[in-house]
């Protein structure tokens, strides 16, 4: 045993675990004047993560950090030597400040992963992270992506002294001189999850957070959500839906009232059990959805049939404490959504609304996000718990070949109204039995943003469709060299600013980048990374001809537009861009949605990253059989890009409203029963 403190040793086990993940604990000493006390930098990372000192310098705002020698490590952390130092020694220092950087790859590991430390100590990842978070004097920076490129700075004058180090630093120095920020370093086609993470964080859509499964939505992504809100809010208000807000806390009595319903959510419900240090008498749940929160009040408010229909919507967040691998936007423990809850006197009215809402959802995907979806009905197995039936819009992610549910609109029938006694006297007279309301609920979440990113973005970064982009265009002066006169330079800048003002006046969301410290090329890469739909270039030659060059982010298409026609032409360019993006995504979905009739084709077709449309009997056991039988066996085919789901079977995604014509006597794809309709199956998120 080393000299780690007892309290740390208690967290560890010395039982050797063969498949433990090795991690490294490094201490760096930045360059400081001899008279000053250095502030050491501790890096905790996976053994496999490279931790460049140039990046460490940038993250901590220090100069030239080098691996610390034994004496510093002894002084600060009472470890015998650098080689024997591990994170347990951090407890030995409770007085002097140090930087603590934690590798994102480490944070991303499953909580139950066993980590191997120096000194043959083993610790569960969750315990290690908790321990690190509680260190008092550490200036903690967590979730560090050590693959981040170092930003260009003018501090590269100091040449490294020894040759070995000079060689090691060469590539990043080359980047600095080039003054070009290379954004995405992972190929979308080769490492889809790694690419997705980089596109989101480097594109400034989102940041990681220290509660697993929760993420910060930065302005770029929140603006997309606001545009979705604006669109949908105006649609439902026209239908007569009003917005309201119900509390996020649910008593267990209320939550558990509808048995089928709660069974669907129970394992994911988060409970508040304490206030301060005292236990609550009755724990309260955080809403996973609000049916049971809202309907007791509907029962109270609806006194006569004249109080119907009652149609409310709320914009809020919900919490589902998932234990599956979290994925930004797609599977998160807290997410933003809208939930509509409506009650009608007649079944027909209610069912009509279900489809009207679904149509709006499909249009959010098509008209705003340029993403194609298939509309249909969920099977009994996949419908919302407690619903009479569920309708859905289903999308498709080409790189993984998986389907993804994009939004659902449920008809609840009278299931909930009977439970909550949401009823009115029969309009035909009191001698007739009272009528229970027919209800719907419907929701669409920030998951839609993740689908949009996965479908459109590329190896240069985000591609955001123009209708939802926070900024639709950036104006960049180009072609200004040393030979350009000051007058000419100012003329171009002024002209660019005029264009900017003119476009803004016409409700085009535009900004200009007039910073002379960066080259146009560097700016191009920046705004490509951030997915700004259009780049407007204005150079000396353009200025002479009174024109600009407009470049589309999605396909790099260049269009020359006279300045006088710009306000009129830009909206057209953006509409065309939207159409091109939608069509490209639609072609991908259409060619990977394959209709088959023989079971022998099922798994091979699935493995080619397709979703399948097949005749089906509609029986739940058959659906389960299809899922089991299509679970991936190791057949050596190169398919899986998400290591978390290597053997996932095909689920039913929906029964599409648009059905192929069914032959007489057509059998089910899997069993001997007659088919009742075509169902869309696929691996899914």
Q: How far is the CB of 652 from Zn ion (least distance, A)?
A: 11
Candidate ranges 28-36, 120-128, 232-240, 621-629; the one touching Zn ion (CB under 5 A): 621-629
- Residue span binding Zn ion (CB under 5 A) among the ranges 273-281, 344-352, 405-413, 620-628: 620-628
As a whole number of angstroms, the distance between CA 567 and CA 470 comes to 18
Over its C-alpha atoms, the chain yields an Rg (Å, rounded) of 29
List the structure tokens of 271. 């409970």
Cβ(522)–Cβ(179) below 8 Å: yes
Q: Which range, of 10-18, 561-569, 633-641, 665-673, touches Zn ion by CB under 5 A?
A: 665-673
* Cα angle for residues 559, 564, 568 (degrees, 5° grid): 70
Smallest distance from the beta carbon of 666 to Zn ion, in angstroms?
11
Strand locations in 446-490, DSSP E?
473-477
Strand partners, 558: 551
Q: Interface with Zn ion by CB under 5 A: which range of 170-178, 252-260, 606-614, 661-669?
A: 661-669
Instruction: Note the helical H segments in 554-595.
Output: 566-591
* Smaller CB separation from Zn ion, 206 or 668: 668
Give the integer Cα–Cα distance in Å for 65 and 97: 16
Q: CB of residue 623 vs Zn ion: minimum separation in angstroms? A: 8
20 vs 671, which CB is nearer to Zn ion? 671
Q: Please say which residue, 248 or 671, places its beta carbon nearer to Zn ion.
A: 671
Closest to Zn ion by CB, 118 or 379:
379
**Contact window for Zn ion (CB under 5 A) among 258-266, 314-322, 486-494, 663-671:** 663-671
Residue 591 DSSP SS3: helix
Piece of 87-95, 424-432, 607-615, 671-679 that binds Zn ion (CB under 5 A): 671-679
What is the Cα–Cα distance from 559 to 331, expressed in whole angstroms? 39
Considering beta carbons, is residue 98 or 616 the nearer one to Zn ion? 616
Instruction: List C-alpha distances in Å: 656 to 263, 395, 456, 681.
Output: 27, 12, 24, 10
- Residue 617 found at the interface with Zn ion (CB under 5 A): yes
| Strand blocks (E) in 402-533 | 402-413, 423-424, 435-436, 438-445, 473-477, 510-512
| 676 forms part of the interface with Zn ion (CB under 5 A) | no
Q: Output 67 or 620, the one with its CB closest to Zn ion.
A: 620
Q: How many CB atoms lie within 10 A of CB 21?
A: 18
Q: Where are the beta strands (DSSP E) in 98-171?
A: 98-103, 114-117, 121-124, 138-144
Q: Is 367 helix (H, G, I), strand (E, B) or coil?
A: helix
Smallest separation (angstroms) from Zn ion to the CB of 669? 7
With CB under 5 A, what is the number of residues at the site for Zn ion? 5
d(CA 386, CA 504): 48
Q: Smallest distance, Å, CB 615 to Zn ion? A: 9
Secondary structure (3-state) at 412:
strand
Select the residue interacting with Zn ion from 78, 286, 355, 671 (CB under 5 A). 671
Q: What φ, ψ does residue 537 adopt, rounded to 5°? A: -100, 135
User: Over the range 315-349, which residues count as b (16 or more CB within 10 Å of their CB) and which as e?
Assistant: eeebbbeeeeeebbbbbbbbbbbbbbbbbbbeeee
Rule CB under 5 A: say whether 670 interacts with Zn ion.
yes
Interface with Zn ion by CB under 5 A: which range of 76-84, 109-117, 513-521, 664-672? 664-672
Q: How far is the CB of 217 from Zn ion (least distance, A)?
A: 42
Q: How far is the CB of 403 from Zn ion (least distance, A)?
A: 20
Q: What is the smallest separation between the CB atom of 597 and Zn ion, expressed in angstroms?
A: 13
CA distances from 525 to 129, 184, 202, 461 (A): 35, 10, 12, 9
- According to DSSP, residue 92 is labeled G
Q: How many residues does the chain have?
A: 685
CA distances in angstroms from 175 to 77, 161, 194, 519, listed in the order given: 36, 20, 22, 14
Cα–Cα nearest to 227, from 567, 464, 408, 458:
464
State the minimum distance, in angstroms, from the CB of residue 521 to Zn ion. Answer: 58
* Residue whose CB is less far from Zn ion, 117 or 617: 617
Residue 622 touches Zn ion, criterion: CB under 5 A: yes
Residue closer to Zn ion by CB (options 517, 672) is: 672
CB of 674 to Zn ion, least distance (A): 9
User: Smallest distance, Å, CB 601 to Zn ion?
Assistant: 16
The most distant pair of C-alpha atoms in the chain lies apart, rounded to whole Å, by: 98
126 or 677: CB nearest Zn ion: 677
* Nearest-angstrom CA–CA distance, 254 and 294: 10
Please give the Cα distance from 603 to 455 (Å, whole number).
24
Least distance in angstroms from the C-beta of 375 to Zn ion: 23
Residue span binding Zn ion (CB under 5 A) among the ranges 92-100, 343-351, 595-603, 662-670 = 662-670
The answer to whether 320 contacts Zn ion (rule: CB under 5 A) is no
| Site string (572-611) toward Zn ion, x via CB under 5 A | ----------------------------------------
Our finding on whether 655 is near Zn ion (CB under 5 A) is no
Nearer to Zn ion, 190 or 631 (CB): 631
Min separation Cβ 663 and Zn ion, Å: 16
Q: Closest approach of Cβ 626 to Zn ion, in Å? A: 8
Among 668, 682, 683, 684, binds Zn ion (CB under 5 A): 668
| Residue with Cβ nearer Zn ion (168 or 676) | 676
The residue range among 240-248, 306-314, 392-400, 616-624 that interacts with Zn ion, by the rule CB under 5 A, is 616-624
Interface positions with Zn ion (CB under 5 A)? 617, 622, 668, 670-671
């Amino acid at each position: 045993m080393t000299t780690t403190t007892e309290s740390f040793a208690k967290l560890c086990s010395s039982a050797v675990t063969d498949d433990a993940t090795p991690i490294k604990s490094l201490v760096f000493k930045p360059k400081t004047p001899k008279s000053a006390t250095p502030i050491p930098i501790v890096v905790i990372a996976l053994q496999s993560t490279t931790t460049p000192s140039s990046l460490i310098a940038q993250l901590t705002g220090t100069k030239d950090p080098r691996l610390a020698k034994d004496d510093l490590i002894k002084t600060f952390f009472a470890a015998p030597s650098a080689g024997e130092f591990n994170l347990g020694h951090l407890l030995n220092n409770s007085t002097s400040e140090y930087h603590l950087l934690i590798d994102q790859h480490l944070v991303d590991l499953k909580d139950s992963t066993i980590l191997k430390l120096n000194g043959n100590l083993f610790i569960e990842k969750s315990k290690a992270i908790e321990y690190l978070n509680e260190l008092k004097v550490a200036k903690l920076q967590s979730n560090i992506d050590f693959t981040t490129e170092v930003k260009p700075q003018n501090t590269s004058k100091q040449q490294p002294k020894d040759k070995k180090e000079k060689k090691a630093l060469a590539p990043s120095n080359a980047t600095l001189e080039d003054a070009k920020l290379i954004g995405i370093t992972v190929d979308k086609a080769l490492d889809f999850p790694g690419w997705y993470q980089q596109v989101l964080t480097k594109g400034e859509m989102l940041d990681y957070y220290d509660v697993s499964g929760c993420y910060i939505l930065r302005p770029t992504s929140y603006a997309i959500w606001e545009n979705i809100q604006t669109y949908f809010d105006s649609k439902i208000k026209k239908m007569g839906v009003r917005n309201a807000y119900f509390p996020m806390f649910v008593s267990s009595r209320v939550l558990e009232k509808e048995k089928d319903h709660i069974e669907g959510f129970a394992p994911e419900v988060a409970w508040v059990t304490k206030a301060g240090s005292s236990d609550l008498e009755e724990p309260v749940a955080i809403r996973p959805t609000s049916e049971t929160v809202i309907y007791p009040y509907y029962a109270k408010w609806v006194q006569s049939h004249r109080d119907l229909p009652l149609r409310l919507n709320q914009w809020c967040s919900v919490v589902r404490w998932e234990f599956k691998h979290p994925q930004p936007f797609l599977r998160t423990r807290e997410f933003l959504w809208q939930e509509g809850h409506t009650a009608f006197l007649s079944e027909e009215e209610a069912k009509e609304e279900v489809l009207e809402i679904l149509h709006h959802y499909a249009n959010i995907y098509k008209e705003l996000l340029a993403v194609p979806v298939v509309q249909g009905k969920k099977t009994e197995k996949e419908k919302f718990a407690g619903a009479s039936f569920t309708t859905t819009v289903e999308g498709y992610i080409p790189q993984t070949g998986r389907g993804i549910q994009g939004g659902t609109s449920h008809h609840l029938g009278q299931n909930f109204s009977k439970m909550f006694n949401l009823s009115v006297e029969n309009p035909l007279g009191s001698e007739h039995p009272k009528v229970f309301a027919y209800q719907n609920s419907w929701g669409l979440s920030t998951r839609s943003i993740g689908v949009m990113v996965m479908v459109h973005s590329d190896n240069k970064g985000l591609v955001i469709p123009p209708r939802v982009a926070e900024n639709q265009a950036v104006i960049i002066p180009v072609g200004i060299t040393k030979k350009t006169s000051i007058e000419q330079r100012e003329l171009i800048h002024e002209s660019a600013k005029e264009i900017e003002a003119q476009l803004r006046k016409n409700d085009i969301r535009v900004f200009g980048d007039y910073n002379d410290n960066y080259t146009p090329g560097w700016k191009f890469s920046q705004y490509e990374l951030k997915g700004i739909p259009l780049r407007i270039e204005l150079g000396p030659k353009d200025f002479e001809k009174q024109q600009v060059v407009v470049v589309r982010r999605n396909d790099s298409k260049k269009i020359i537009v006279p300045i006088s026609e710009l306000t009129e032409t830009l909206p057209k360019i953006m509409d065309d861009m939207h159409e091109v993006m939608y069509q490209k995504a639609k072609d991908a979905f259409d060619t990977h949605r394959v209709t088959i009739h023989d079971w022998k084709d099922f798994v091979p077709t699935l493995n080619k990253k397709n979703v399948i449309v097949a005749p089906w009997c509609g029986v739940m056991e058959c659906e389960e059989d299809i899922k089991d039988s299509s679970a991936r066996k190791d057949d050596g085919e190169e398919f899986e890009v998400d290591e978390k789901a290597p053997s996932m079977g095909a689920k039913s995604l929906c029964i599409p409203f648009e059905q192929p014509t069914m032959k007489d006597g057509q059998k089910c794809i899997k069993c001997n029963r007659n088919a009742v309709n075509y169902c869309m199956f696929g691996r899914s998120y």
